[in-house]
Amino acid sequence: MRQLARIVSESYEDVPVARLEGEVDMTNATSLGERLRALLTNRSVALIVDLGPTTYLDSSGITLLFSLSAELRLRQQRLHLVVPDGSPLARVIAITGLDRAVPTHPTLERALKAAA
């Protein structure tokens, strides 16, 4: 069985950054959500999810991001998304209203600046 998606993570001070590479669908959204949550500490002010290398995002992936955003708000943390200009995911994110619920940025640098 091939791996649909993987998370490459790094941290910038108290902001973990997760680059989601590959496809996110109903078969892996739950496990990806668990791995994203595990990146957070009580010191984290935000979580940045970079969707630049993400090639597919179905409704379970969108639901995961909405849920994660709501959970972080309750913890007084914030979710930020990196959605590069011209990304094939930009349309689905706009149609679902995710871009109105979660701050989206065209670059990691802008997301880091907003999260600080």
Q: Is the pLDDT of residue 1 over 60?
A: no
The residue ranking higher by pLDDT, 13 or 19, is: 19
Q: Which domain holds residue 19?
A: 5-115
The residue ranking higher by pLDDT, 49 or 14, is: 49
Q: What is the pLDDT of residue 79?
A: 98
> Average model confidence (pLDDT) for the chain?
95
Nearest-angstrom CA–CA distance, 28 and 44: 24
**Number of domains the chain is built from:** 1
In angstroms, what CA-CA distances link 1 with 13, 19, 75?
36, 22, 36
* The total number of residues written for the chain in this structure: 116
Give the CATH number of the domain where residue 53 resides. 3.30.750.24
Q: What is the pLDDT of residue 11?
A: 95
Average pLDDT over residues 5-29: 95
The 10s digit of each residue's pLDDT in 57-99 is 999 999 999 999 999 999 999 999 999 999 999 999 999 999 9
What contacts 114, CB < 8 A, 6 or more positions away?
80, 103, 105
